[in-house]
Amino acid sequence: MSKNRTHTDARITLAHGNGGRLMRELIDEVFAQALGSQLDTRVDAARLPLNAPGSDWLITTDGFTVEPLEFPGGDIGSLAVHGTVNDLAVSGATPRYLSLNVFIEEGLEMAVLERISHSIARACETCGVRILAGDTKVVRHGQGGGLYLATTGIGERRHGVELGIERIQPGDRLIVSGTVGDHGTAVMLAREQFGLSGNLLSDATSVAPITESLLQWPGLRFMRDPTRGGVATVAHDIASVAGATVRLFEKCLPVRKEVRGVCEILGYDPYYLASEGRVVAALSPEVAEPAVEILQRLGFHDACVMGVIEPGPPRVILQTGLGGERILPELEDDPLPRIC
């Protein structure tokens, strides 16, 4: 195995995870080559600079098992970077550093692994984060889904930023930064399980431009990216903690016609489908509309006020476009496993 070579026919073997020569070559020639010299593969623990007076440091961790590994608009590598930095961003932090753990199934094409590694590198560069540490394991064929990734993210948040679901009050408005359910639908179509196809792309991307804009508003209470379980699950989390009713407005919730069409055919509800590049935020009523207007000027044209927090029992109500009401139940089953 030589550097700068495209391994079109090579495949992962169990020996690539045994700590010996093949594992070292895998780390040096695939991951280190793709991720750059800042990733020191010679150490077991990387030094993390934490000298930042006036800031808090936040940590998050996540795992990614999406199937297929590559889908329209992204792949498991870019998704892992975006998903991790987004958890930091919606917490009010600027993402700084990542660790990356890679679980590879025996038999995975080396070319696929190289494409995903370079995708990770591009996403890190775009998001302004560095991968400082990682680990690699190989499992037997049939014991994994080709490739799983696990990440840890570190971010810096300036003192004075106070966000939390417990800060939400009756009367607050819920906004969403764009169309919902794009990622879940794009991945579902990529599986080609239902004889359906389309050109829909995943919305997976960094939400930092959105969160940075929203952090300028003193009435910002809370932010979250509506990944697994979609906006309906975020609304249920809010209702439970706030002890209040969350009312969502169907006529305002932005859903692409492709997403709505697939949901109508297969019996899914778009409000429970994952989005990987959107933000749901709670703001005080006097700043919600101005905050949305700013997001729209920044290019997030589908941003809107999608709901309101009302006094009442903890539940989520969808006010339909015809003026009726529908209770959105809490999600029990996973409608789309391995979506992120």
Task: Please write the tens of the pLDDT for every residue from 80-133.
Answer: 999 999 999 999 999 999 999 999 999 999 999 999 999 999 999 999 999 999
What count of Cα atoms within 13 Å lies in the side-chain half-sphere of residue 119?
21
Helix (H, G, I), strand (E, B) or coil at 340: coil
Is residue 137 within 8 A of residue 103, CB to CB? The reply is yes
What is the reported pLDDT for 134? 92
DSSP letter (8 states) at residue 92: T
Of the CA atoms within 13 Å of residue 266, those in its CB half-sphere come to 22
Choose among 36, 5, 61, 29: nearest CA to 136. 29
Residue pair 254/180 in contact (Cβ under 8 Å)? The answer is yes
Q: pLDDT tens-digit profile of 26-65?
A: 888 888 888 877 777 765 555 565 666 788 888 899 999 9
Please name the amino acid found at residue 262: V
Can you read off the two tokens belonging to residue 75? 């792949």
Measuring CA to CA, how many Å separate 294 from each of 91, 261, 298, 304? 20, 30, 6, 11
Is the CB of residue 222 less than 8 Å from the CB of residue 165?
yes
Domain ranges of the chain: 14-158, 165-327
Please tell me the total number of residues recorded for the chain in this structure.
340
- 165-327: same fold as 14-158? no
Interval 272-331: pLDDT, tens:
999 999 999 999 999 999 999 999 999 999 999 999 999 999 999 999 988 899 999 988
pLDDT at 13: 87
Q: Which CATH number is associated with domain 14-158?
A: 3.30.1330.10
pLDDT at 3: 42
Which CATH fold would you assign to the domain 165-327? Phosphoribosyl-aminoimidazole Synthetase; Chain A, domain 2 (3.90.650)
248 neighbors 307 (Cβ within 8 angstroms): yes
Mean pLDDT of all residues in 132-142: 93
Amino acid occupying residue 155:
G
Q: What's this model's pTM, rounded to 2 decimal places? A: 0.88
Both tokens assigned to 57: 């440091």
pLDDT, mean of residues 236-252: 95
Query: Average pLDDT of 223-244?
Result: 93
SS3 label, residue 41: coil
Residue 329 contacts by C-beta under 8 Å, 6 or more apart in sequence?
A: none
Mean per-residue pLDDT over the chain, rounded: 90
Contact 232, 328 (CB under 8 A): yes
